[in-house]
Amino acid sequence: MKKWRWAASLLVGLSCLGGWWQTAQAESNHYSVRAVLPSNQVNKKLTYFDLLVKPGKTQTVTVRINNKDTKSHQYDVTTNLASTSDAGQLVYNQTVKNPDASLQFNLATATSKVKTVTVPAKKAKLVNLKVKLPEKQFPGIALGGINIVQHATADKKSNKQSVSITNQFAYTLGIQLRETKKLTVKPELNLLSAEPLQVNYQNYVVAKLQNSRAVIMHDLKVNSYVTKQGSDKKLLKTVKENMTMAPNSHFNFALGDGSKALAAGNYTLHLKASAENGKYHWQFTKKFTVTQTKAAKAAINETGANTNWTLVAILGGVIVILIAVIVWILMRNRRKSK
């Protein structure tokens, strides 16, 4: 009987974990955020800021925070520069510590500092941010995100063992500034470097790609591979498409699936790319060297990259089946004992 209770408690406990997660998700709708569009908004149908600005002026950007909860909350309001993730996607909610060298106007540093705002229960508040524009006209667009984060709150579930869950929810509003309605700047892709890199026991060759122009690069497609110098054999062939790059940004494009490290030697990276549905094309080659030291380190750690996740999944399934069988046997024995 005790064994049956233990098994049942285990299954109930596992289901409760899922229940707590669902509760945290359901409680995320305590507040909402809206961009208050000014008169110089280019397209008033948009829900984010797309502003036509003038050199040397200060632009006021207003955000409305609506607290729907029955208690007051504090919110942090910050502005970040748009960047490109290593997956080749636009990112608006991360601090860019080292902006690309091609950047002429940093929207994040030109905007007023972090504000902490308290909004009473069932009330709304307007938050004004000031953006100081450079005296000299900047080409293309300045792109970023205004991030509104509610201060973390701990929800406690009283039980024999109390459980504390910390909830923190955020909104991001896009902000795009331009000084001409018609944008004539064209994207420009550059290959800055190529080198071997190991991340979490995964071995790659990384091509550092740069969009050096103040315009978003849409529909980026990259076709790449590596050859050892003196050989035509293609290694680490990688094709990726539907990527997007932020203006004046760079990211690390990884070749390979991480499972195979290159031996020491001299190599050449070959890379072809296109953007804007094939309107723009680029082709690059870049030589690089895998040193004996890097090759030895990669070989030592390569075993960590060879985890057989299929086997892990199978073992997990077997464990679940075993638990089910144990529960079934205990239930059958319980019926017989009656």
What average pLDDT does this structure show over 67-72? 95
Contact predicate 3/323, CB 8 Å: no
Q: Report the helix count and the strand count for the chain, using DSSP H and E.
A: 4, 19
The whole-chain average pLDDT of the chain stands at 85
Residue 41 and residue 174 share a domain: yes
Does residue 6 sit within a domain? no
Contact predicate 186/213, CB 8 Å: yes
Does residue 14 sit within a domain? no
Helix ranges restricted to H, 113-260: none
Does residue 216 sit within a domain? yes
Q: How many domains does the chain have?
A: 3
Buried b (16+ CB within 10 A) or exposed e, 144-154: bbbbbbbeebe
0.75 exceeded by pTM: yes
Residue 288 and residue 326 share a domain: no
- 100 pLDDT tier (thresholds 50, 70, 90): very high
Residue 124 and residue 99 share a domain: yes
Whether the predicted pLDDT of 275 surpasses 50:
yes
Tokens of 5: 């209770």
Which residue range(s) make up the domain with 231? 189-305
Does residue 4 sit within a domain? no
Please tell me the least confidently modeled range out of 8-12, 143-147, 149-153: 8-12
Tokens of 175: 């902000």
β-pairing, 31-36 vs 153-157, is: unpaired
Looking at residue 317, its pLDDT comes to 84
Residue 313 and residue 297 share a domain: no
Does residue 11 sit within a domain? no
Contact predicate 120/144, CB 8 Å: no
Whether the predicted pLDDT of 259 surpasses 70:
yes
Does residue 7 sit within a domain? no
Let me know if 184 is exposed, middle or buried by CB neighbors in 10 A (0-12, 13-18, 19+): exposed
Does residue 10 sit within a domain? no
- 186 pLDDT tier (thresholds 50, 70, 90): very high
Residue 117 and residue 209 share a domain: no
Nearest one of 78, 88, 92 to 210, comparing CA atoms:
88
What average pLDDT does this structure show over 196-218? 94
Beta bridge partners of 222: 240, 273
Whichever domain contains 280, its CATH number is 2.60.40.1820
Residue 118 and residue 103 share a domain: yes
Does residue 3 sit within a domain? no
| DSSP secondary structure, 245-273, as one string | E-TTEEEEEEEEEES-PPPSEEEEEEEEE
β-pairing, 217-228 vs 170-178, is: unpaired
CB atoms within 10 A of CB 164: 8
